[in-house]
Amino acid sequence: MAVGSLQREAAGPGRTLLIGCGALAREVLALTRLNGWWHMDLRCLPAQLHNTPERIPEAVREAIREGRDGFDRVLVLYGDCGTGGRLDRVLAEEGAERVDGPHCYSFFSGNEAFAALTETEFTAFYLTDFLVRQFDAMVIRPLGLDRHPELRDAYFAHYDRLVYLAQTEDPGLEAEARRAADRLGLAYEYRFTGYGDLATMLERAA
């Protein structure tokens, strides 16, 4: 699988290859540019891999092997993301590490905070900035709701609210998230997270 590259000139010792989910590209670039981490080079895999999580581990392995030459370190910007531990086994075999957490909802929220919330938030459907922007492409069309809106109850009968976990304070995105909640017939909740543990990992790496 070809790897989409959003790379910058990364010169000098201590170069780090970041292999990220395309759903995190905007956030990672914002963090690296803001902090001047020019020794980090980001290469992204398609966000659509989340629709087939069994393909993520080998796609990441291929990206590591294609891209690691000339880098001192490889960091993988994925949670487990539904791979059932297979991604961690690939990373152990390839000598790479990843951001802690089961998925982006968790590490954006802060893994400890999100783990505590899941004790009570059984009926929340989460969106991030990326998923708000790509709501039709990543939620509506893959579920067939554009063609068969009557399937809404089959998919969302057990949810009672949509929680927008916002990485940025953007009124336009918040309005889009409210519309998404209305479209799914769910109550709406806004929760600003910032970049959470993703920022923490990159700070440690830098």
pLDDT tens column, 126-151: 999 999 999 999 999 999 999 999 99
Percent helix / strand / coil, the chain, rounded to 5: 50, 20, 35
CA–CA separation, 194 and 27 (whole Å): 9
For the chain, where do the domains classified as CATH 3.40.50 start and end?
Answer: 4-98
Please tell me the number of Cα atoms within 13 Å of 67 on its side-chain side.
Answer: 30
Which of 35, 83, 51 lies closest to 198 in space, CA to CA?
Answer: 35
pTM: 0.89
Per residue in 99-129, pLDDT (tens digit) is 999 999 999 999 999 999 887 888 999 999 9
Q: Among 1.10.10, 3.30.450, 3.40.50, 3.30.160, what is the CATH number of 4-98? A: 3.40.50
Per residue in 72-82, pLDDT (tens digit) is 999 999 999 99
Query: Do 173 and 133 contact (CB within 8 A), yes or no?
Result: yes
